[in-house]
Amino acid sequence: MVRRTRRWRARSAFALKKVSKQATMHFSMIDKRSTGVFRIIPVCAFADNFIWLIHDGRHAVAVDVGDATPLLERLDALNLTLSAVLCTHHHADHVGGNAALVARCPAPVYGPENERIPARTVPLRGGETLVLPGLEIPCRVLAVPGHTLGHLAYAIETPEGTALFCGDALFSAGCGRIFEGTAAMMWQSLSALATLPETTRIYCGHEYTLSNLRFARAVEPDNAALIAREAAVRALREAGKPSVPSTLAEERATNPFLRVDVPAVQAAVRAYSGLPCVTAPETFAVLRTWRDDFIDTVMY
């Protein structure tokens, strides 16, 4: 059983009320049960989705609960109390487990205000700063439209540094497909994420790194950092380990979608398309189209 206390319910109700009333707030109620040590662990769902679980040994915040079953099993196994659910966007493989999860473990559900998010209790638009219930750590909400129009990312400040939960906006070595927004919108979103500290750990929504790296090498065959990263990621995957998180420094060195201002990437895009792409946004738009055509069978 997942344990919940009267104290937790009272604090959760308080947190929900406050968040609904104002976008920016800080809670001073520190739960004495917190161990002060934060862990971020992946819970695998479907073929390649990550549900991320941030916990301190007592409380847990879950990100993008596509399926409640594996998450409930993990909460039970670790004897954790769910204190919040964060949603990046409305796709079912990211929010399909919300209703079943909160039916079993009531907790506030945060998500984009302009998307249909099951069981959402706290609508967000980006720009807010929260303190996560239970964990009592700061979380900045960033609007990163492009994959969907309301897509959000959550930058959480742990004692080990910034952890970015970015769903299907920025991927390890790639980026999400542009389903609802425009290429210019997506480029702007990724550019904003690229300004975070280089040590930021990138927790994206899917294990797509090897596939993304194959495309990245087609764009930049001579990038030594990319060649080294592909070998390292292959070793991780062969050992059955996730390739996520990466760091923003790694992404800036190897992710072609964060490198559209690099002459070699621009030259590759011009050679592929025959178009006179000059600016970074123009290069980004064609690069994303190239990626769509590179592996048509994988949906992002």
| Residues tagged active-site | 89, 91, 93-94, 147, 168, 206
Which window, 24-32, 68-76, 165-173, 260-268, contacts Zn ion (CB under 5 A)? 165-173
Q: Which is nearer to Zn ion, 168 or 220 (CB)?
A: 168
Q: Which is nearer to Zn ion, 112 or 245 (CB)?
A: 112
Shortest distance, position 149 Cβ to Zn ion, whole Å: 12
168 lines the binding site for Zn ion (CB under 5 A): yes
DSSP letter string, 186-230: HHHHHHHHTTS-TT-EEEESB--HHHHHHHHHHH-TT-HHHHHHH
Q: Could you tell me the maximum CA-CA distance found in the chain, to the nearest angstrom?
A: 64
The amino acid at residue 49 is N
206 lines the binding site for Zn ion (CB under 5 A): no
CA distances from 36 to 23, 56, 128, 134, 137 (A): 26, 6, 24, 11, 10
Shortest distance, position 294 Cβ to Zn ion, whole Å: 18
Sequence-ordered list of residues with C-beta below 8 angstroms from that of 116, at least 6 positions apart, any chain: 90
31 lines the binding site for Zn ion (CB under 5 A): no
Size of the site for Zn ion (CB under 5 A): 2
Q: Report residue 104 as tokens.
A: 């079993």
Which window, 6-14, 72-80, 168-176, 259-267, contacts Zn ion (CB under 5 A)? 168-176
Number of Cβ atoms within 10 Å of the Cβ of 4: 15
Shortest distance, position 93 Cβ to Zn ion, whole Å: 7
Shortest distance, position 4 Cβ to Zn ion, whole Å: 30
Which window, 33-41, 151-159, 160-168, 269-277, contacts Zn ion (CB under 5 A)? 160-168
Q: Report residue 59 as tokens.
A: 């409380």
Sequence-ordered list of residues with C-beta below 8 angstroms from that of 227, at least 6 positions apart, any chain: 217
| Interface mask toward Zn ion for 83-102; x: CB under 5 A | --------x-----------
Crossing angle of the two packed helices 280-294 and 263-273, in degrees rounded to 10: 60
Shortest distance, position 115 Cβ to Zn ion, whole Å: 11
Q: Are 11 and 31 in contact (CB under 8 A)?
A: yes
Q: Which is nearer to Zn ion, 66 or 134 (CB)?
A: 66
List residues binding Zn ion (CB under 5 A). 91, 168
